[in-house]
Chain A
Amino acid sequence: MAATLCRILLPKQGWLPFTQCVRHGSKSVTRHKRPLHFLKQKLMSVTRYIPPPRPAPIGAYPRQTIRDQEDDPFTILIKKKLKSVFQESKMIAVVQNSGSTADEMMLLKYKLHKHGITVKFFPNQVMRSFLKDSTYSNMAPLFIGHTVLFISKEPKVKEMLSSLRTSRHMLLLGACIDNTLLSAQGVVSYSKLPSVAVVQGELVSGLTLLTSQTAAMLQRHPAQLSALLQQHVKQQSSEGAPKAQEAT
């Protein structure tokens, strides 16, 4: 096919053919890679496919700490609620809940509600970010895992401890009572403290003990008083004599 084409294109001798036979002389399908025409080579290099960079597999690198990220509106709402809770309530106890059923939770909530203690659940992340900014930053390590908050306006520790003792799965971790952070043992010792009135009464009675004794002595018969004073003088003199003997 190519040979017949060549013959027609060369009519006279000595003349250059006005049409060149392009189809003969090189094959299109070769075993080696045919050198591309320069223009085609340029075009191919310009239009080369560059795939997008594939991300690293999950878990290959540690997570970058995302700083200065704005809170979403739900988080802001929860933080407002938390702020009001911390301002209003005197007792905030943190309890770890390890697998209690819904029935047990309901019973516990009912028991505590009778004494005015509310049971609240807050997400740990929000809690920790709120505590970081507030003055209660030392409570932050308590909030790991499934935690429950017991909140009350008055510190009713005895009732709370009794209800926690009956429930098997709730574990008291710590409490913030009257803006003081207490551990579990601290809470127990706080519960054993007598009430404020009792302590005040004890203090007053201790201070007025001596004055009341002197007042009672003065009110007795004068003969008794003179006998007491003579005894007192004798004791003082006997103490003074041995001391002078020791000195010499």
Chain B
Amino acid sequence: MAASSKVTVVLKAVKNITAQFCPFESNVGSTRMFLSVMSSHKVRATNLNCEVISTVKHDRSEPVVEITYLDGDKLMLKGAKLNCSEMLSAFQSMCAAKELQAKLAAAKK
């Protein structure tokens, strides 16, 4: 959780975040932490239109977080073998890339 307190997560380029996990499995911790970070007030306040939808299943499936961006791209994070900080860093790098693209597009115009 230290990562989230030092670096703020900005959701401006994100359309929605869907997560599915089975809480009785042992590899779900990182996904749940990631979800709680995404649903916190600060992060939600950056983009009020972004929805965080989570489904609870019981079929021994792997935990998956799917992030849909405004330009249609999707980022799938399979949280079974990932750390929470790794997921956050991957998400933030993608968001930074999207922001750069948007800035370049705005500059061209």
Q: Hey, which bits of chain A sit against chain B, CB under 8 A? A: 96, 98-99, 101, 138, 141-142, 144-146, 169, 171-174, 183-186
Contacts and interface: CB of A to CB of B under 8 A. Distances in A.
Contacts, number: 50
A144 B28 contact: yes
A141 B26 CA distance: 6
B24 A142 contact: yes
The 8 lowest CB-CB distance pairs between A and B, nearest first, are A98-B39, A183-B58, A99-B39, A173-B23, A184-B56, A99-B40, A145-B32, A98-B36
Classify the interface of chain A: helix, strand, loop or mixed. Answer: mixed
Nearest to A142: B23
A121 B38 CA distance: 22
Contacts of A146: 36
Number of contact residues on B: which range applies? 20 to 34
A98 B52 contact: yes
B33 interface: yes
Contact of A141 (B28, B35, B38): B28
A171 B44 contact: no
A161 to B, nearest CB: 13
A138 to B, nearest CB: 7
Interface in B30-80: 32-33, 35-36, 38-41, 44, 52, 54, 56-58
A174 B24 contact: yes
Nearest to A173: B23
A183 B24 contact: yes
5 contacts: A96-B32, A98-B54, A101-B41, A142-B23, A169-B39
